[in-house]
Amino acid sequence: MTIAAEVICVGTELLLGDILNSNSQYLAKELAALGIPHFYQTVVGDNVDRIHKAIEIAAARSSILIFTGGLGPTPDDLTTELIASYFNTPLVEFPDVIVDIQNKFTQAGREMTPSNRKQALQPVGAALLPNPTGTAPGMIWQPREGLTIFTFPGVPREMHRMWRDTAVLFLKTQGYGQNSIYSRSLRFFGVSESALAEKVEHLFNSTNPTVAPYAGKGEVRLRISARAVSEVAANQLIEPIEREIKQIAGDAYYGTDDDSLASVVGQLLKAKGQTLAVAESCTGGNLGGLLTEIPGSSDYFLGGIISYADRVKVDLLGVNAADLAAEGAVSETVARQMAAGVRAKLGTDWGVSITGIAGPGGGTDRKPVGLVYIGVADPDGGVVGIKYQLGSTRERELIRHMSALRVLNLLRLRLNG
Amino acid sequence: MTIAAEVICVGTELLLGDILNSNSQYLAKELAALGIPHFYQTVVGDNVDRIHKAIEIAAARSSILIFTGGLGPTPDDLTTELIASYFNTPLVEFPDVIVDIQNKFTQAGREMTPSNRKQALQPVGAALLPNPTGTAPGMIWQPREGLTIFTFPGVPREMHRMWRDTAVLFLKTQGYGQNSIYSRSLRFFGVSESALAEKVEHLFNSTNPTVAPYAGKGEVRLRISARAVSEVAANQLIEPIEREIKQIAGDAYYGTDDDSLASVVGQLLKAKGQTLAVAESCTGGNLGGLLTEIPGSSDYFLGGIISYADRVKVDLLGVNAADLAAEGAVSETVARQMAAGVRAKLGTDWGVSITGIAGPGGGTDRKPVGLVYIGVADPDGGVVGIKYQLGSTRERELIRHMSALRVLNLLRLRLNG
C-alpha cells in the first residue's frame, strides 16, 4: 500500500449541514506541512454499518487513518467502539482517563455522569492521545502492520491542541516531516484582496516558495510557503520574498503569523509606555473585548466606557448635550468628545471612540446603516474625528467588527508615525 | 440500492487545506431540506485513478452523485471526462455552450482561449445544467437506470445559483421534496451534554421525529427533526417531544432555534420595561458586546464601564479601595461593589459585574486561572456575588466567553423567577 493519510470525519450533523467541516481543512494543512500525502477525505454519519464500511474502504487504500468526531459520551458516539470491532479487538477501560475526567468535572464544579465512563474505553493495544482541554481522549493505534489510526474529538479547539501536542511528535518519530513545508503569513489591513494581489501578481507563479492570497474578516493575508529540510533553509527562501512584499505593501502590512491588530497596537503602546482607554457606542464593548484578548493587555489598557445610551455619553463621557441634540449621536463632534472624554476620565495617554449605525434598523438617507465615526484623542491633547462608510448592505456583526478594526488600525498608524 | 445522495468534491486544493469545503455544507443543508437521505461525502484530488475509484465506490452505494469542482479549462480539471470514461461514454461538444462562453468573454472585454472549448464537452446523453454567472456549465446525467449524476463548478456562488435555478426543480420533478425534514433546536445552559443526554436518552431511539444532542461553546442543544409533508404535520410530530424535553430540562432550557442567552435576557428585560448596565473586568467588554449583538438592544441596555485596571474600579465604579487592597480585585466583595456601582452610576434597574482570572498568567494557588466572581445588583437594591471555578485548564478566550454566558444565565433565571 502507498503511504497516504485519509481524514474521516464522523457525524450526522455534518451530513445535515449543521456544521462546517473545518477539521478537514485544518488536518489537510497540517499533513501538507509535514509532507504526508493525503488523497481522500470521507464524511460518514453516526451509523454502525456505514462507519464499518468507511473503515473498510479507507484501510484498503490509506496507511494513516485520522478520525475526528464520535468520541463523546452519548449513545450516538460510536467511533472508538466501531474501529475496535472492525479489527476484532476488545475495548479496555483506561483508569487514568477516569481519574482525569473526574478531576475535570470536579474543577468545573460538576458531577461526572456514568456515561462519561465510556470515554475511558479504548481498544487493547492502543496508546492514549491525551486531551488536555476536554474529557474525550483520542488514541494512536496500529491494529496491523502498516496501518496507523488516530482518533480525535470533533471539537476543533480540542483537536488542534491534541494534534500539536502529541500527534505531530509521534508522526515525526515515524520519519515524517523531514522535508517540511514552512509557512509565514503576512497580514494587511486597509487594502482589498484584489488590489494587493495585482501588486504582487508576479510572485504567484513562484514554486518554492509559493505565495498565495487569503481574505479574512476585514483583512487580507499573503502566505509564503517554502519546502525545505530545515527552518533555517526555509527562511533563506522566504525572506527575500517577504522583504519584497513588505516594500510593495508599505503601511498596509501590519504583522506576521499570529499577530493581530490588537496585539500590534499593544506592543507599540508597551514600547512607548503609554496607556489607552475606549469609549464605545455601536460596538458595545467589542473593541475592549478585542484589546483584552491579548494576555498582558492590562499593561496598557486601563478600561473604558460603553456609552450605548445617549444619556451615558453625556453623564459619563462629558459629551455636550446641546451638540449631541444638534448633530446626533453619530457625528464627528460626538466621536471627538467621546474620545477626549474617556481619555480625561480614565487619565490615559490615548482615548479612542466609536459611534455608528450598525443596523439593520436605524439608518436614514442622511445617516445610512454602515456610517461610523471614530475619534482619537492623543497624548498631546489633539483630537480628531474620522468618518467611515462601511457599506449599508453589510451585516450588523461585520459592521461592528470592521469598526473596531478601523480604530485599531488608526491607532497603529498613529503610534508608528 | 437505497435512495441516497453522495457529495463528491474534486480538487487537490481541498486536500492541501487551501480551501474550506463550504460546498459540502451547503449541499448537505439543501439535501436535508428536500428530504433526500445523504450518507457519505468524499473529497478526492485531481488524479485520474483516484477519481475513477471514487466514482466506483460512490456509484455502488448511492443513487444520486453530486460532484463539485474540476469543471474548469485547465488540464487538471478532469471531472467531466473521467465520469464519461468510467461509464464508457464518449464526449460531445455542445455548440450552445461555445456561443455562451464566447459571449461572456466578449462582455468582459477578454478573448476566449482555446482551452475554454473543453468546457463545452459533455457525455453523450447528458442534459446541460446551465451556469448563468460563470463559463463552466454542469450536467445532469443518468448513465444507467437508478443512478443520477450532477456536476457543478467548485466556485460556491456559481454552484448555489445553478442548484437553486435548475437542480432543485429537476429533483422535484423526480418526486423529491414531497416529504421534507423540519427541525427545531432547543437550547440549554448550565447542564453538561452528558447529563442532559442521560435524562432524555429514551428519545434517542425515536425515528420520526429524531432527537440528537449537540455541544457548542459553553451550551448544549437538542435538535428535534421530523420528516413530514408540511410544516403543520411536522409540528404535530415535534411538539409532544418538545414539551416532554422542556419538562425534563426545567430551568436549563432557555430558548429555541436562533435564540441566544443575550436575546432571551433582552426579551425578558423588554417585557418588564427594565434596564441593564454592565461592569466588566476580565471580559474587557465582551459581555456588552454579546448584549449589543441583538438589534434593538438599546431599548434595555444603557451601557457600562470596562474597569480593567484597579484604579478604574475605584474611581469610576466606587469600589472601596481598602476592600480591594484587602480582598483583591478577584473577590466576592469587589464583584458586588462593581455591580452596585455600575447600577448607581448609570441609573439602571439592574447592574451586573464580572471579575476573574482569565489566564494564562496571573493565577495563584488561592486564586487559580478560571476563578471568576459575578455580581448582580437587582431593582430592589439587593446585591449578590457568586463564585465560579471555570477550570484552570481552559483557554483564556473560553474562560472569558463562559464568564459572560454565566452572567447572562444568572440574569435570565432572576428575571424569570
B188–chain A Cβ distance below 8 A for any pair = no
Q: Which residue of A has its CA nearest to B310?
A: A302
Domains detected in chain A = 5-173 (3.40.980.10), 180-256 (3.30.70.2860), 261-416 (3.90.950.20)
Q: Residue B304: what pLDDT?
A: 98
**Which of A72, A109, A285 comes nearest B287 by C-beta?**
A285
Residue B286: list chain A partners with CB under 8 A. 285-286, 288-289, 292
The stretches of B305-350 forming alpha helices (DSSP H) are 310-317, 321-327, 332-346
Per-residue burial over A130-139, b = 16 or more CB atoms within 10 Å of its CB, e = otherwise: ebebbbbbbb
Q: Residue B89: what pLDDT?
A: 97
Range of weakest confidence among A168-172, A332-336, B300-304, B317-321? A168-172
Q: Which three cell numbers stand for residue B258?
A: 436562533
Q: Residue A204: what pLDDT?
A: 83
Residue A278: list chain B partners with CB under 8 A. 285, 306
- CB-CB under 8 Å, B293 with A288: no
Q: How far is A360 from chain B (nearest CA, A)?
A: 7
Q: What would the mean pLDDT of A385-399 be, rounded to a whole number?
A: 86
For residue B186, give Cα distances in angstroms to B220, B224, B244: 9, 8, 12
Q: Which residue of B has its CA nearest to A212?
A: B18
**Which of B54, B212, B303 comes nearest A308 by C-beta?**
B303
Q: Residue B73: what pLDDT?
A: 81
- The number of C-alpha atoms within 13 Å of B130 and in the hemisphere containing its C-beta is 9
- CB-CB under 8 Å, B28 with A17: yes
Q: Say if CB B194 and CB B61 are below 8 A apart.
A: no
Q: What would the mean pLDDT of A170-193 be, rounded to a whole number?
A: 86
Phi-psi label, residue B354: left if phi above 0, alpha if psi -120 to 50, beta otherwise: beta
Q: What would the mean pLDDT of A76-92 be, rounded to a whole number?
A: 96
Residue of A14, A36, A43 best to disrupt the B interface, most CBs of B under 10 A: A43
Residues 213-252 of chain B with CB under 8 A from chain A are 213-215, 223, 225
Q: How far is B94 from chain A (nearest CA, A)?
A: 32
Q: Say if CB B353 and CB B279 are below 8 A apart.
A: yes
Range of weakest confidence among B32-41, B244-253, B332-341? B32-41
Residue B354: list chain A partners with CB under 8 A. none
A262–chain B Cβ distance below 8 A for any pair = no
Q: What would the mean pLDDT of A310-332 be, rounded to a whole number?
A: 98
Q: Which residue of B has its CA nearest to A346?
A: B312
Q: Which residue of B has its CA nearest to A293?
A: B397
Residue A316: list chain B partners with CB under 8 A. 303, 305, 316, 345-346
Q: Residue A64: what pLDDT?
A: 96
A278–chain B Cβ distance below 8 A for any pair = yes
Q: What are the backbone dihedrals phi and psi of residue B329, each rounded to the nearest 5 degrees, phi first? A: -65, -30
Cis amide prior to B137 (ω within 30 degrees): no
What pLDDT band is residue A181 in, cutting at 50, 70 and 90?
Answer: confident
B287–chain A Cβ distance below 8 A for any pair = yes
- The number of C-alpha atoms within 13 Å of B57 and in the hemisphere containing its C-beta is 25
- CB-CB under 8 Å, B295 with A359: yes
More confident residue, A105 or A322: A322
Q: How far is B98 from chain A (nearest CA, A)?
A: 29
Q: Residue B1: what pLDDT?
A: 55
Q: Is the pLDDT of residue A271 over 70?
A: yes
Q: Residue B265: what pLDDT?
A: 98
For residue A221, give Cα distances in angstroms to A195, A259, A406, B17: 12, 11, 17, 15
Q: How far is B260 from chain A (nearest CA, A)?
A: 15
Q: Which residues are CB-neighbours of A107 under 8 A, at least 6 positions away?
A: B370, B389, B391, B392, B393
d(CA B159, CA B26): 10
Residues 288-347 of chain B with CB under 8 A from chain A are 288-289, 291-293, 295-298, 301-309, 311-312, 315-316, 345-347
Residue A18: list chain B partners with CB under 8 A. 214, 223
Residue of B210, B287, B306 best to disrupt the A interface, most CBs of A under 10 A: B306
More confident residue, B390 or B268: B268
Q: Give the residue from A135, A160, A115 showing the smallest Cα distance to B201.
A: A115
Q: Residue B116: what pLDDT?
A: 83
- CB-CB under 8 Å, B39 with A40: no
Q: How far is A306 from chain B (nearest CA, A)?
A: 5
Report helix, strand or coil for B140: strand
A208–chain B Cβ distance below 8 A for any pair = no
d(CA B18, CA A29): 7
What pLDDT band is residue B266 in, cutting at 50, 70 and 90?
Answer: very high
Residue B54: list chain A partners with CB under 8 A. 40
A108–chain B Cβ distance below 8 A for any pair = yes
Describe the strand order of the beta sheet including A210-215 as a list of residue ranges: A210-215, A220-228, A180-188, A253-256
Reported ipTM: 0.81
Q: Is the pLDDT of residue B107 over 80?
A: no
Q: What would the mean pLDDT of B397-405 be, rounded to a whole number?
A: 95
A106–chain B Cβ distance below 8 A for any pair = no
Cis amide prior to B360 (ω within 30 degrees): yes
Q: Residue B112: what pLDDT?
A: 80
**What count of CB pairs under 8 Å joins A to B?**
280
d(CA A374, CA A358): 14
Q: Which residues are CB-neighbours of A191 under 8 A, at least 6 positions away?
A: A220, A249, A252
Q: How far is A232 from chain B (nearest CA, A)?
A: 23
What pLDDT band is residue B182 in, cutting at 50, 70 and 90?
Answer: confident
The per-residue pLDDT for range A129-174, each reduced to its tens digit, is 999 988 899 999 999 999 999 999 999 999 999 999 999 999 988 8
Q: Residue A106: what pLDDT?
A: 86
